[in-house]
Structure 1
Amino acid sequence: MDQDNGTVQVLALPPTTCVYQENFKKLLLPPVYSVVLVAGLPLNICVIAQICASRRALTRSAVYTLNLALADLLYACSLPLLIYNYAQGDHWPFGDLTCRLVRFLFYANLHGSILFLTCISFQRYLGICHPLAPWHKRGGRRAAWLVCGAVWLAVTAQCLPTAVFAATGMQRNRTVCYDLSPPILATRYLPYGMALTVIGFLLPFTALLACYCRLARRLCRRDGPAGPVAQERRSKAARMAVVVAAVFAISFLPFHVTKTAYLAVRSTPGVSCPVLEAFAAAYKGTRPFASANSVLDPILFYFTQKKFRRQPHKLLRKLTAKWQRQGR
Structure 2
Amino acid sequence: MEAENVTPSSAHNQTACDVFVYQGVAVVLFPIFYAAVFLISLCGNSLVLYVMCQRKQKSNSTSIYLLNLALSDALFTLALPARITYYIRHFDWPFGDLLCRLTMLLFFANTYAGIGFMTCISLDRYLAMVHPHQLQCLRSVKVVRRVCCLVWALVCLQVAPLMFRSTLYEHQQRRTCMEYFNFEGSRFTPYLLLLACAVSFCCPLITIAVCYAKINLKLHTAAKQNSITGRLRRNHRANTIILLVLFTFLVCFSPYHLNVMQFMSRKIQHQPVCEELRAFKVSLQITVSLMNLNCCLDPLLYFFAIKTYKRRVLSLLKDSLYCHPFLRVCHMGSCGKVFIQVIFIRYKVVCKMSATMLSSSTSNSSGNSTCTTLYDHREYARVLMPLFYSAMCFVGLLGNCLALHVIRPNLKKMNSTTLYSLNLVISDILFTLSLPLRIAYYALGFHWPLGEAACKISGLIFYINTYAGVNFMTCLSVDRFIAVVMPLRFAKLRKVSKVRYICLGVWLLVLAQTLPLLNMSMTNEEADGYITCMEYPSFETVDHIASILIGAVIVGYIIPVVTILVCYSILCYRLQFMAKNNHLTDKFGRSRKAIGVICCVSLVFVVCYSPYHIDILQYMLRKLVSDPGCTDLAAFQVSLHITVCLMNLNSCLDPFVYFFACKGYKRKLLKLLKLQVSMSFSSAARTSPDCSSKDVNDGTKIHLNSSIMGSERLPEMRALQHE
TM-score tier by shorter-chain length is 0.7 to 0.9
Q: Deviations over 1:265-323 (max 9, x none)?
A: 56765422112211221122111111011012122212221111111222233999999
Give, in whole Å, the separation in 2 of the partners of 1:151 and 1:224: 38
Deviations 1:36-71 (A, max 9, x none): 100001100111111111153321011000000000
CA distance in 2, matches of 1:186, 1:55: 53
Counterpart of 2:244? 243
Q: CA deviation at 1:237?
A: 1.2
Distance 1:187 1:225 in 2: 59
Q: Which residue of the partner structure matches residue 196 of structure 2?
A: 196
- Contact conserved, 1:239 with 1:304, CA < 8 A, in 2? no
Q: For residues 290-309 of structure 1, what are the structure 2 equivalents within 5 Å? A: 290-309=291-310
Partner of 2:145: 145
1:167–1:181 CA contact under 8 A, matched in 2: no
User: What residue number does 2:170 align with?
Assistant: 170
Higher RCO, 1 vs 2 (CA within 8 Å, ≥6 residues apart) = 1
Q: Residue by residue, what CA displacement relative to the aligned partner does 1:146-176 show, whole Å, maximum 9, x if unpaired?
A: 1100000011112223334561010111211
Cα distance change of structure 1 residues 323 and 144 upon mapping to structure 2, 3 Å threshold: farther
Paired residues of 1:240 and 1:304 also in contact (CA < 8 A)? yes
| CA spacing shift, 1:37–1:318, aligned 2, 3 Å | closer
CA separation of 1:132 and 1:323: change in aligned 2, threshold 3 A: same
Contact 1:262 1:283 in 2 (8 A): no
Q: Say how many residue pairs are matched.
A: 321
Residue matched to 1:120? 121
SS of aligned partner of 1:169: strand
Question: Offset at 1:242?
Answer: 2.2
- 1:9 positional shift: 4.0
Shift of 1:33: 1.0
| Range moving further from structure 2, 162-171 or 194-203 | 162-171
Q: Kindly indicate whether the alpha-carbon contact (under 8 Å) linking 2:5 and 2:181 is maintained by their aligned counterparts in 1.
A: no
**Aligned residue in 2 for 1:156:** 156
How much has 1:125 moved relative to structure 2?
Answer: 1.1
**Does the CA-based 8 Å contact 1:103-1:179 persist in structure 2?**
no
AA paired with 1:116? F
Alignment of 1:60-71 (within 5 A): 60-71=61-72
- Specify whether residues 14 and 112 from structure 1 end up closer, same or farther in structure 2 by C-alpha distance, changes over 3 A only: closer
Equivalent in the alignment of 1:97: 98
CA distance in 1, matches of 2:83, 2:74: 15
The SS at the match of 1:46 is helix
Map of 2:131 onto structure 1: 130
Structure 1 residues 189 and 167: CA distance shift in structure 2, 3 A: farther
Which residue does 1:41 correspond to in 2? 42
Bigger drift between 200-209 and 148-157 goes to 200-209
Q: Give me the whole-angstrom Cα distance separating, in 2, the residues matched to 1:244 and 1:184.
A: 36
Q: Give ranges in structure 1 of 5+ residues lacking alignment.
A: none
Tell me how far apart the structure 1 counterparts of residues 315 and 109 of structure 2 sit (CA, whole Å).
34
* 1: CA distance, partners of 2:161 / 2:195: 11
- Give the 3 Å change call, closer, same or farther, for CA 96–285 of structure 1 in structure 2: same
Change (3 A) 1:55 1:141: farther
Distance 1:255 1:165 in 2: 24
Aligned to 2:412: none
In 2, Cα distance between equivalents of 1:166 and 1:225: 62
Structure 2 letter corresponding to 1:149: C
In the TM superposition, residue 213 of structure 1 has moved relative to its aligned partner by 1.1
Is contact 2:72–2:113 with CA below 8 Å preserved after alignment? Answer: yes
Q: The residue matched to 1:157 in structure 2 has which SS? A: helix
Q: CA RMSD in A?
A: 3.0
SS of 2:156's equivalent in the other structure is helix
Using the alignment, how far apart are the partners of 1:144 and 1:76 within structure 2?
25
What's 1:272 paired with? 273
Q: Report deviation, 1:73.
A: 0.3
Contact 1:165 1:181 in 2 (8 A): no
CA deviation map 1:91-114 (0-9, x unaligned): 001111211111111111011001
Q: What is the rounded CA distance, in whole Å, between the counterparts of 1:184 and 1:286 in structure 2?
A: 22
Q: Would you say the 8 A contact 1:122–1:208 is kept in 2?
A: yes
How far apart in 1 are the matches of 2:261 and 2:26? 20
Cα gap change, 1:267 to 1:55, in 2 (>3 Å) = farther
Task: Note if contact 1:166-1:180 (Cα within 8 Å) is conserved in structure 2.
Answer: no
Counterpart contact for 2:253–2:291, Cα < 8 Å: yes
Partner in structure 1 of residue 16 of structure 2: 17
Distance in 2, matches of 1:18 and 1:144, equals 49
Question: Against the structure 1 CA distance between its residues 215 and 170, is the aligned structure 2 distance closer, same or farther, given a 3 Å change threshold?
Answer: same
Asked if 2 retains the 8 angstrom alpha-carbon contact of 1:265 and 1:279, the reply is no
In structure 1, the partner of 2:55 is 54
Partner Cα distance (2:50, 2:291) in 1: 25
How far is 1:251 from its partner?
0.7
* SS, match of residue 142 in structure 2: helix
Distance in 2 (alpha carbons) for counterparts of 1:29 and 1:14: 26
Name the residue aligned to 2:234.
233
- TM-score when scaled to structure 1? 0.87
Shift of 1:261: 2.9
1:191-218 per-position Cα deviation (integer Å, ceiling 9, x unaligned) = 4323321221111111111111111111
User: Residues 76-95 of structure 1: matches in 2 within 5 Å?
Assistant: 76-95=77-96
The match for 1:218 is 218
Secondary structure in 1 matching 2:83? helix
Secondary structure of the residue aligned to 1:150 is: helix
Whole-Å separation in 1 of the counterparts to 2:584 and 2:152: 42
In the alignment, which residue of structure 2 is the partner of 1:288?
A: 289
Distance across 2 between alignment mates of 1:220 and 1:202: 27
Q: 253-262 or 113-122, which moves further after superposition? A: 253-262
Secondary structure at 1:185 match in 2: coil
Measure, in 2, the Cα distance between the counterparts of 1:251 and 1:25: 20
Deviations 1:207-240 (A, max 9, x none): 1111111111112222466658982321221221
* SS, match of residue 169 in structure 2: strand
Q: Secondary structure at the match of 1:54?
A: coil
**Bigger mean CA deviation after superposition, 231-240 or 121-130:** 231-240
Query: For the Cα contact (< 8 Å) 1:67–1:148, is it kept in 2?
Result: yes
Cα distance change of structure 1 residues 264 and 224 upon mapping to structure 2, 3 Å threshold: same
- Aligned to 2:232, what secondary structure does the other structure show? helix
* Greater mean deviation of Cα atoms: 266-275 or 16-25: 266-275
Aligned to 1:185: 185
Partners of 2:49 and 2:152 lie apart in 1 by 17
Secondary structure of 2:79's aligned partner: helix
CA distance in 2, matches of 1:322, 1:112: 47
Distance 1:97 1:29, change over 3 A: same
CA distance in 1, matches of 2:165, 2:180: 7
CA distance in 2, matches of 1:14, 1:85: 24
Amino acid at match of 2:61: R
**2:467 is matched with which residue?**
none
- The structure-2 alpha-carbon separation of the partners of 1:226 and 1:309, relative to structure 1 and needing over 3 Å to count, comes to farther
Contact kept, 8 Å, 1:186 with 1:266, in 2: the verdict is no
- Paired AA for residue 114 in structure 2: S
In structure 2, C-alpha distance between the alignment counterparts of 1:88 and 1:215, rounded to whole Å: 49
Q: Could you tell me which amino acid in structure 2 is paired with residue 289 of structure 1?
A: L
The answer (yes or no) to whether the contact 2:72–2:114 under 8 Å persists in 1 is yes
